[in-house]
Structure formats: structure tokens, C-alpha cells
Amino acid sequence: MKNDIGVFGLGVMGQNLALNFSSRGFNVAVYNRSDEGEEKIVSDFISSKCKNIDNIEGYNNLKNFILSLKNEKVILLMIQAGKAVDCVIKSIVHYLDKGDIIIDGGNSNYKDTERRYASLKEKGIEFVGCGISGGSEGALNGPSIMPGCSLEVWFKIQNVLQKIAATGEKDIYCQRIGSRGAGHFTKMVHNGIEYSVMQILAEVYDIQKNLLNMGHHEIHQVFSDWNEKELKSYLMKISADIVILRDKQDAYLLDSILDVASHKGTGKETSIASLELGIPSLMKTQSVYARYISSYFEERKDLSKIYLKEKKSIV
């Protein structure tokens, strides 16, 4: 039997989305590149995560993976944004026919999505820039999905995407956002907003701990109370949880975590877009700068010594 969808890329997100599709009754083909160090990713996934699952097939051969799909093939790319997406598209396009659909589920720049859409459209192949939010847990149990595509393509992929998406009392958290790069643009802004929320939570934690001298359990209680009211969110919940999380030595884990925050680029891209469009986005941009500053760990240590020395001399 031909497969309903192919998942290219078996990182944590790709694996969990494949399992999600499977649990909703879809036949799924999975593939991962077999470069050095990644030779066993497909076989390990099938043997460890797909026990007693008969509607997921693993492939090490790219051509066989694609030919295992139904007509009007649908391939979901779950790979790192950037040049890798262009390389993969180049490698699979030879096996595709007019009307086949490639969905990019990574955090690609919306401008790259616009370019890829136009290039593939010339070949008769449809390209969907699709934001996926919710992390690995959401991928497995129901993510928020933001596809950018034509109405014609949306009607072809609507069922398969909405079946795996998160749902509310009345809503399905998967709707067509707009055409071409609209899905990835929305995901970019979504991530930029998350940068702001996380920065606010970090600063509130710092105020409570270092200015108000509140203990871990007090801060946990404040965050938990907020999570029961209008501030309820996933980020608030996990912030409340980690404040009282302890390590193997029974010390608070948060006290031993290095205060250096990385970034994947979507926050920066949101700020660039706001400048290009002439729309102020001060909080998001300052949140990106805060992450940049955090990366200068050694410099901050040296400056803090100078600051403390100067402070003592003034006192």
C-alpha cells in the first residue's frame, strides 16, 4: 500500500511528527540522510520507537522513499533551515512529478520560502512554507501548524495536517495563513514574541530573587498563581516548574545553569522585518540584544569585577 506522507529528517521533531501521523491512521514513510554518524538513524527509529506500529516504513534509499508515496506525493521536510533545504530540494526534485507537494516544516526565512516557491512553481511542483510550533511534545501530541500555500494546495493537505494539529474546545490549531511565505513569516513573528516573553520572565525572576530576596519556592508560587489566571501559558508553566527543580546533589538546578542564551535566528529575523516594514518592535529587538549580551560571558565576568571595585571605592 502506498504511503500518505513522507517525513524527510528524523531529528526529534521529525520522529515525533511521524509518530503523530501514524497515530492518526496515516501510512507514513520516513527517511534520513545516511552520512557518517547518521547511518543507523532510520533503523534505530523503526526498532526503538515503532514497535507494534505497522503503518510506518523506514527507507535508506531516497528514490524508494519517494516512490513509496501515493500519487500527488506529499513530503514533509524536517531539516535545519538554510542551505540544507535547498540541497534536499535539489536531491528530491528529480523524482517528483507535476502536482507533487513539498512542505518545509523548519524555521526557514520567509524570503527563502518565497524564492523556493517561485522556483518550484516553474517545474509544476508545489512548495508550502509551514511553521510548526509546540516543540517535541507538541509534535507528538498536537502542534500548532501555520501553512502558507494556495487555496488549491490547502484543500489537498488540509486533512492530513489538521488531523495531527492541536485542538481547543472549538478550534483546530492549523489553518491556512496565506500564500507562499506567509506561514513562515507568521512562525518567525511567533518566535519573536516568545523571545520577548522569555526575557520578561527572566527579568521578573531576577527581580524577585536578587532585589526582593525571595526564595525558590516563593517565586515558584508566584509563577504558579499567575499561570492560573490571565497569564496562563506553556512558558509560564515550565518557568514555574524549573524554579524548584533540583539536581542529583539536591541543589536547585537553576542556580547551576550558565547564564548564556543561544538563538536560532528567528528573533533577529523578526527585528530585521520590523525595520524593513517600518513597524516598531522594541521589546523583541531588546530581547535579541539580551541574548547577544549573554554570549559575552568572560567579558561580563571581567566587567563585573571592575564594577564591584568601583562601587566599593565610591562607598
Domain boundaries, given as residue ranges, for the chain? 5-180, 187-314
Third-level CATH fold of 187-314: N-(1-d-carboxylethyl)-l-norvaline Dehydrogenase; domain 2 (1.10.1040)
Q: Cα(30)–Cα(95) distance, rounded to whole angstroms?
A: 16
Across the beta sheet with 74-77, the strand order is 56-59, 28-31, 5-8, 74-77, 101-104, 126-133, 144-148
CATH number for the segment(s) 5-180: 3.40.50.720
Of residues 91, 148, 93, 95, the one with CA closest to residue 123: 93
Of residues 217, 202, 200, the one with CA closest to residue 252: 217
Backbone angles phi, psi at 67, to 5 degrees: -70, -15
pLDDT per position in the chain (315 positions), as tens? 799 999 999 999 999 999 999 999 999 999 999 888 888 999 999 999 999 999 999 999 999 999 999 999 999 999 999 999 999 999 999 999 999 999 999 999 999 999 999 999 999 999 999 999 999 999 999 999 999 999 999 999 999 999 999 998 889 999 999 999 999 999 999 999 999 999 999 999 999 999 999 999 999 999 999 999 999 998 999 999 999 999 999 999 999 888 888 887 889 999 999 999 999 999 999 999 999 999 998 999 899 888 877 766 765
Q: Which residues touch 258 (CB under 8 Å, ≥6 apart)? A: 297
Backbone angles phi, psi at 42, to 5 degrees: -65, -50
Tell me which residues are annotated as active site: 187, 194
Of residues 131, 57, 63, the one with CA closest to residue 93: 63
261-272 burial, b for 16+ CB within 10 Å, e for fewer? beeeebbbbbbb
